[in-house]
Chains A and B, each alone.
Chain A
Amino acid sequence: MVDFWQIIQNAAVEIISPTTAAYALAALGLAIHFGFTGLINFGQAGFMAIGAYGYGISTLTFHFPVWGAVLVGVGGSIVFALILGIPTLRLRADYLAIVTIAASEILRLVFTTNTLDFVTGSADGLSGYKGGFAALNPIPKGTYGFGPFTMNEYDLWLRIVAWVIVAIAILLAWQLMRSPWGRVIKGIREDEDAVRALGKNVYFYKMQSLILGGVFGTIAGMIFILPRAIVPANYATTLTFFIYTILLLGGAATIFGPVAGSIIFWVVLSAVSGFIARAQAAGWFDFIGMSSVQAGQSRFIIVGIVLMLLVIFRPQGIFGNKKELAFVK
């Protein structure tokens, strides 16, 4: 028998999970790039990897305190954005897409290579860097929450920190996008030559946007590794495309869309995979001969179909204004 109550409980856990917060923050960074400025960044996974490894390596190899490790990650992502942006932001939008996807793959392969095993742990990745963050926890030891949201003091601390960061990022992005700065940024999305003709330094604004969205991605990368270990395989291009899915689900040119998109994405993904796994075990799919391995993979097929339907039937996302942004211009 399929235990629907268990499926619902497992899905509900995702609503406030730190992973959901991390994806929401990364998607908000991408909204600044893609939705508001029109920069096609296909390397958000690279920015997240810099956050993860910047934090992990500074902590494990150099024994930095938490704030030092965070600064290393953020500094690394600013340098990464400059390296990507200086040669490409003067060119057409598609060049940035090509360069970002390649650069984030280069980063992942550098982190995977055996030569750097002593710092990056190569394919095994890194773990054991959570001590500093856990030591900052003011919450006494114990069990908190109720029902599916029952957790220990570390998990509660992590959730509070993650969602407070997301809330601050939302406030920042909201204030920026309703300011004259945001007006220039949106103007660049529409037609950068027109904005240039009005005396704005378009290149400089695009660079600021690339850095800001990239730093959001980097901090998301740090939140992402606190409930788990750093594994280089996590930073493949699929990560970037999951974040795009979340962004388009919520609405590309919106502030709250990325958060709502992330919550919906993870809840639906958890519910779908929970249902398929249990239904397969209960023999519901025996008529097509589905194995348990196939059941595990099929959730991504369903996510892919949902993404396609979304782009076709609701290109502006759940919260987007259809007039303001219809997917890709």
Chain B
Amino acid sequence: MSSDAKPTRGAPVKSINLHVGEIEPGVAKVDAIIVADNVTRTFGGLTAVDVAHVEIPRNAITALIGPNGAGKTTFFNLLTGFDKPDTGTWTFLGKSLAGIPSFKVARLGQVRTFQLTKALSLLTVLDNMKLGAKGQKGENMFAALLPWLWRKQEEEIEAKAIVLLEKFKLDTKSEDFAASLSGGQRKLLEMARALMSDPTLVMLDEPMAGVNPALTQSLLDHILDLKTQGMTVLFVEHDMQMVRHIADWVIVMAEGKIVAEGPPDAVMANPAVIDAYLGSHHDQDLGEDDPETIHAMKELLDADDES
């Protein structure tokens, strides 16, 4: 990635014509990076995720939205190997990922961030960044004892980390413990750290949650910038302004299923989506509102937050 790429300002360039044929849930994409089929995950009697078919377009920004408890984060965890599905298969760049552990998924170029930011608090900001680099010789226990084997690579990694930190305006903090950063800065650090591995697909779980409004614009610019650099972004978000502003494609989940998808403006005109997000039933699930289901969903969401 080039160091002089300026974050995009003003109205982002939207990718269009991503789909093939009629727009409906599960529509085929011209160029899909992830294709998932029959992915289900149940917790006890509750079906958290039940996705029949979905494709994520390559080199575009896709938003995954839906009310609380819709199964977005669970679906995220399944795709990244942090959770195991009951059934289903999915491919990433044509390679089947079902049953592959999370660290191998990351090595294939699909990195993620977390809803509750996971900055490594008692490591310095710079060490956080360096940890993100792939294929480090010095991470082998025996090679670690022979510093001349990895010193040169370490210097390259450090130089790369400093360039990224400058871009994310964290360079002045590089020697501080990550614990001393603000919530928004930690989000930035987590994203920058993920970029150290030169990923193909970046998956962001609620990148805007808890971010100070002053940092929001900068975070949005960084996400748009990922696309300019040729990466694909999939993110979960509640903030509809953000979704409308930067997403090229929106997928709506409710009760574990994909209920709608399409370009942002079309999706937001969809009555079911309006009802869920902007209408009077703001806090309720789409579809039938069985009080027991809502209760179970809430418990599930709490469990998600703890994990």
B88 interface contact, C-beta 8 A:
no
User: Contact size class for A?
Assistant: 20 to 34
Contact between B122 and A175, CB atoms less than 8 A apart:
no
Enumerate chain B residues within 8 angstroms of A180, measured Cβ to Cβ.
130, 136-139, 144, 150, 154
In the complex the two chains form, what is the Cα distance from A194 to B205 in whole Å? 13
Q: Which residue in A194, A202, A208 is a CB contact (below 8 Å) of B114?
A: A194
**Chain B, Cβ-Cβ closest to A194:** B118
> Is the CB of B262 closer than 8 A to any CB of chain A?
no
Q: How far in angstroms is the closest Cβ of chain A from B185?
A: 16
Is B25 among interface residues, defined by CB-CB distance under 8 A? no
Q: Separation in Å of the A291 CB from the closest CB of chain B?
A: 48
Is the Cβ of A175 less than 8 Å from the Cβ of B144? yes
Query: In the bound complex, what is the Cα–Cα distance between A194 and B117 (angstroms)?
Result: 9
Contact at A208–B122, with CB atoms within 8 Å?
no
Residues of A within 8 A of B177 (CB): 323-324
Contacts of A208 in B (CB 8 A): 141
Check B120–A175 contact: CB distance below 8 A.
no
By beta carbon, the residue of chain B nearest A211 is B141
Assign chain B's interface to a size class: 35 or more
- CB B195 to nearest CB in A, in angstroms, measures 11
A193 on the B face (CB < 8 A): yes
Segment touching B, from A123-131, A150-158, A181-189, A306-314: A181-189
Chain A contact surface mostly: helix
Q: A199 at the A/B interface (Cβ < 8 Å)?
A: yes
Stretch in contact with the other chain, from B100-108, B163-171, B253-261, B277-285:
B100-108
A181, B132: Cβ atoms closer than 8 Å: no
Which residue, of A175, A199, A325, has the highest number of chain B Cβ atoms within 10 A? A199
Q: Hey, which chain A residues are within 8 Å of B1, CB to CB? A: none
Residue B58 CB within 8 A of the other chain: no
Task: Report A-chain residues with C-beta under 8 Å of the C-beta of B131.
Answer: 183-184, 187, 195, 198, 200
Q: Is the Cβ of B122 less than 8 Å from the Cβ of A324?
A: yes
A191 → chain B closest CB, angstroms: 5
Interface residues of B in 143-202 (CB under 8 A from A): 143-145, 147, 150, 154, 177, 179, 190, 193-194, 196-197
> Does A197 lie within 8 Å of B106, measured CB to CB?
yes
Q: Are A198 and B144 in contact (CB under 8 A)?
A: no
CA gap between A9 and B280 in the complex, in Å: 83
**Residues from chain A with Cβ under 8 Å of B19 in the complex:** none
> A282 an interface residue at 8 Å Cβ cutoff?
no
B40 contacts the other chain (Cβ, under 8 Å)? no
Question: Is A181 touching B118 in the complex (CB atoms < 8 A)?
Answer: no
Give complex CA distance A189, B121 in Å: 10
B residues less than 8 Å from A324 (CB atoms): 122, 177
Q: A190 in the interface, Cβ–Cβ < 8 Å?
A: yes
Interface: B123 (CB within 8 A): yes
With known contacts A198-B193, A199-B107, A199-B197, A181–B144 Cβ distance under 8 A: yes
- B80 interface residue (CB < 8 Å to A): yes
Contact yes or no, A325 B103, CB < 8 A: no
| Cβ contacts A299-329/B at 8 Å (1 or 0 each) | 0000000000000000000000001110000
A321 to B18, CA, bound (A): 53
A172 at the interface (CB under 8 A from B): yes
Judge whether A176 and B145 touch: CB under 8 Å: yes
Taking a contact as CB atoms under 8 Å apart, the answer to whether B123 and A184 are in contact is no
Measured CB to CB, the nearest residue on chain B to A190 is B120
Contact B123 A190 (CB under 8 A): yes
B140 touches A186 (CB 8 A): no
B134 at the interface (CB under 8 A from A): yes
Q: How far is the CA of A197 from the CA of B123 in the complex (A)?
A: 16
Q: Is B72 an interface residue when CB atoms closer than 8 A count as contact?
A: no
Asked, given contacts A176-B141, A195-B131, whether A323 binds B120 with beta carbons under 8 Å apart, the answer is no
A172-B145, A182-B144, A190-B120 known; A197+B112 contact, CB < 8 A: yes
Q: Is B127 an interface residue (CB 8 A)?
A: yes
How far is A182 from B131 in the complex, measured between Cα atoms in Å?
A: 10
A6 within 8 A of B: no
> In the complex, which residues 66-115 of chain A have their Cβ closer than 8 Å to any Cβ of chain B?
none
Q: A198-B132, A199-B197 are in contact. Are A323 and B122 (CB under 8 A)?
A: yes
Contact A197 B138 (CB under 8 A): no
Bound Cα distance A242, B114 (Å): 39
Q: Does B65 contact A (CB under 8 A)?
A: no
> A252 → chain B, closest Cβ, in Å?
12
Q: CB-CB contacts of A194-221 with B at 8 A, as 1s and 0s?
A: 1111111110000010001000000000
* Sampled A-B contacts (30; CB under 8 Å): A175-B145, A175-B147, A179-B147, A179-B150, A181-B139, A181-B140, A181-B141, A182-B144, A183-B139, A184-B131, A184-B139, A190-B121, A191-B120, A193-B114, A194-B119, A194-B190, A196-B82, A196-B102, A196-B106, A197-B82, A197-B112, A197-B113, A197-B114, A198-B131, A198-B197, A199-B107, A199-B111, A212-B141, A323-B122, A325-B122
Given contacts A194-B120, A199-B103, A324-B177, 14 further A-B contacts (CB under 8 A): A176-B144, A179-B150, A181-B144, A187-B128, A190-B121, A194-B190, A197-B80, A197-B113, A197-B114, A198-B106, A198-B196, A200-B131, A202-B103, A208-B141
List chain A positions with a Cβ less than 8 A from chain B: 172, 175-176, 179-184, 186-187, 189-191, 193-202, 208, 212, 323-325
The list of the 9 closest CB pairs from A to B, nearest first, reads: A180-B138, A199-B106, A179-B144, A194-B118, A181-B144, A190-B120, A199-B107, A180-B139, A191-B118
